[in-house]
Amino acid sequence: MASQADLVEKHRATIEQAIEAWRSRTFFAHWAEVPSGKVYGESAAADGKARFDAQLGKPFDRLLHDQAQSWHGEEESPYGFALGISYPVHSPDVLVANAQRAQRAWSALTPWERAAVLVEALQQSAAIFFELAHATQHTTGQGFVMAFQASGPHAFDRALEAIAAGVWTQEAFATSADWVKPLGKATVRLSKRYRIRPRGVNVTIGCSTFPVWNSVPGMFASLVTGAATIAKAHPKVVYPIALVVGALQQALDRLGFNPHLVQLAVPTPYEPMTQALVGTDGVGTVDYTGSAAFGDQLERFCAEHGIVCFTEKSGVNPVLVESVESLDAALENLAFSICLYSSQMCTAPQNIFVPAAGVAERSSGRTVPLEEFIARCVSAIDALVQNEKVGPGTLGAIQSPATLDRIERARTLGVPILRDSAPIVQPEYPNARTATPLVLRGDTRLRAQYEHEWFGPIAFVVPVASFEHGLEEMTSSVRRCGVLSTLVYTTDGSLQSAAEEALLAAGAPVAFNFSGPVWINQSAAFSDFHGTAATRAGNASFTDVAFVASRYSVVGTRCGE
């Protein structure tokens, strides 16, 4: 078993490189995003699938938890079959007590020691990537490649980013000082020490669509700052985060640490658990991803009880298309963003504002009329949906039946349907729950119809009087509804500057003129701040200084001569 000093030296270069990337905001990826046998081993894909198949219908026994009171599981694949996996259920009191015991020795380590242990645990846990991809695919409905990337390398990079931010933040001041104050001919001398004290046990509340990617930033920001963490799973999406928790527990155990530093909380229909867990004495921080309704309630509860709460809630993401270099390139990009994982992403575009006079296209030298823009937008979506090689994997499956109900409700709004939704065949899974994008025509006089989140494959094309009108609609929507992404297409530099200033003032991140293989849905670790903490869509940002520094206190000791 390696010592903490050995682990620090082993992972020093990785941590320093991650810190530099986090500070400079340049491209950095520690884990390869391509599910390649050359990278992960020639048998890795087959082994992962075999482990997935072997787990179906059996208890998940890879967690190092004590005192399970029962076993429960209710997961069904959106691709049309029951997983049949059960998980150990623990009471909130037991989970928090386990975490507090594990936290005592952990918080006594230095930030660098904690960081090195966590990087080693991540390195060892990367062996689960392929099984994790299948687990994510068959709980969330993501396509396999997206599931591999989102829950594997991209999520682990976000965890490493949180580690890097935590080390940098905690290293911002000296851990000790000899303090000398002149008092005329005399002096006063004090020996001072400064210790990081975590605010308490962390609870991370997982979501149903990105159960790992959205959870590990808060978990690792807490761990690196000295706290134990409890991952409370969504009842329908347990398997992916159970895999991660189990792998981390086993790695920590091999390294000589209490595996209860990381635990899994499994809700049941009889014990939803979230409120009871968050309200247990000893919990100091909470991370939440989910609906605004429950997120608002959770923020109020935490504020009343002195708990630091980090939230990512629902937003309404707008697009403004005023002028483009090539309309086909822009629409191909936009169509992919709308189709990707059937828009079951917090960053997916929903409301597309277009001047009623049309969109100027520089390459052709013409203004494309609004109706032609709509027709070509629908055609771009159709081209992707009907591509037998690309379409099914891009759209994936619908995680929750509630999303299909939402599509039905959108159909009854009484507005023109520009493109209707329909199932898409998933060749390997004939019983998959699927839906292609529904595109509706909006009206700024009836903005209440589209100024709330229509989670899933639902988009609105909304005519506006001008670029200025469209920008005002965007910024007012940001202020009223919150946002995780915005996208503007314009070839006019002055309009781009105006849009940037207006949207940044409203607290929204903004992207311009995306085409090619980069999409508004994506958020790159070490470079993109996921969420700004400046709109109603949430008060947290992956990963700024506040995201880690708010998790601990600095406690000083002063000793006289």
Q: Give the total number of structural domains in the chain.
A: 2
Say if CB 531 and CB 484 are below 8 A apart: yes
| CATH code of residue 443 | 3.40.309.10
Q: Is the pLDDT of residue 406 over 80?
A: yes
Pair (346, 275) in one structural domain:
no
Q: What is the pLDDT of residues 6-22, one digit of tens each?
A: 999 999 999 999 999 99
Q: What is the pLDDT of residues 327-384, one digit of tens each?
A: 999 999 999 999 999 999 999 999 999 999 999 999 999 999 999 999 999 999 999 9
DSSP symbol at 369: P
Q: Is the pLDDT of residue 102 over 90?
A: yes
Please report the pLDDT score of residue 4 as a whole number.
85
Is residue 214 situated within a structural domain? yes
Is residue 560 situated within a structural domain? no
Is residue 456 situated within a structural domain? yes
Query: How far is residue 193's CA from residue 556's CA, in Å, rounded to a whole number?
Result: 6
Q: Which residues have C-beta within 8 Å of that of residue 342, sequence separation ≥ 6?
A: 141, 395, 396, 397, 398, 403, 434, 435, 436, 437, 456, 457
Please report the pLDDT score of residue 422 as a whole number.
97
Q: Is the pLDDT of residue 536 over 80?
A: yes
Pair (78, 99) in one structural domain:
yes
Q: What is the pLDDT of residues 452-494, one digit of tens each?
A: 999 999 999 999 999 999 999 999 999 999 999 999 999 999 9
Ranking 259-263, 508-512, 517-521 by mean pLDDT, the lowest is 517-521
Q: Is the pLDDT of residue 2 over 80?
A: no
Give me the mean pLDDT over the 93-102 stretch.
Answer: 96
Pair (288, 376) in one structural domain:
no
Pair (365, 274) in one structural domain:
no
Helices (H), 419-551: 467-481, 493-505, 545-549
Query: How far is residue 434's CA from residue 537's CA, in Å, rounded to a whole number?
Result: 27
Is residue 419 situated within a structural domain? yes
pLDDT confidence tier of residue 418, bands split at 50, 70 and 90: very high
Q: Pairing between strand 81-82 and 76-77?
A: antiparallel
Please report the pLDDT score of residue 67 as a whole number.
79
Please report the pLDDT score of residue 272 as a whole number.
79
CB atoms within 10 A of CB 5: 11
pLDDT confidence tier of residue 185, bands split at 50, 70 and 90: confident
Supply the pTM of this predicted model: 0.95
Give me the mean pLDDT over the 128-151 stretch.
Answer: 97
Give me the mean pLDDT over the 39-44 stretch.
Answer: 92
Query: How far is residue 61's CA from residue 70's CA, in Å, rounded to a whole number?
Result: 13
| CATH code of residue 121 | 3.40.605.10
Pair (284, 351) in one structural domain:
no
Q: Is the pLDDT of residue 121 over 90?
A: yes
Is residue 530 situated within a structural domain? no
Pair (263, 411) in one structural domain:
no
Give me the mean pLDDT over the 30-39 stretch.
Answer: 90
Please report the pLDDT score of residue 271 as a whole number.
76
Radius of gyration of the chain from Cα atoms?
A: 25
Is residue 555 situated within a structural domain? no
Q: Which domain holds residue 350?
A: 318-512
Is residue 558 situated within a structural domain? no
**Amino acid of residue 263:** Q
Q: Could you check whether the bond before residue 543 is cis, i.e. omega within 30 degrees of 0?
A: yes
Pair (305, 328) in one structural domain:
no
Closest-CA residue to 159 (of 129, 123, 202):
123
Closest-CA residue to 312 (of 23, 66, 529):
529
**Amino acid of residue 317:** N
Closest-CA residue to 209 (of 290, 102, 95):
290
Query: How far is residue 533's CA from residue 224's CA, in Å, rounded to a whole number?
Result: 21
3-class secondary-structure state, position 44 = helix
Pair (369, 266) in one structural domain:
no
Say if CB 84 and CB 56 are below 8 A apart: yes
Pair (325, 399) in one structural domain:
yes
Is residue 526 situated within a structural domain? no
Query: How far is residue 209's CA from residue 483's CA, in Å, rounded to a whole number?
Result: 18
Please report the pLDDT score of residue 65 as a whole number.
85
Please report the pLDDT score of residue 269 as a whole number.
85
Pair (247, 330) in one structural domain:
no
Helices (H), 231-326: 239-254, 274-278, 292-304
Beta-bridge partners for 460: 351, 440
Pair (328, 449) in one structural domain:
yes
Please report the pLDDT score of residue 66 as a whole number.
76
Beta-bridge partners for 489: 321
For the chain, what is the mean pLDDT? 96
Pair (345, 284) in one structural domain:
no
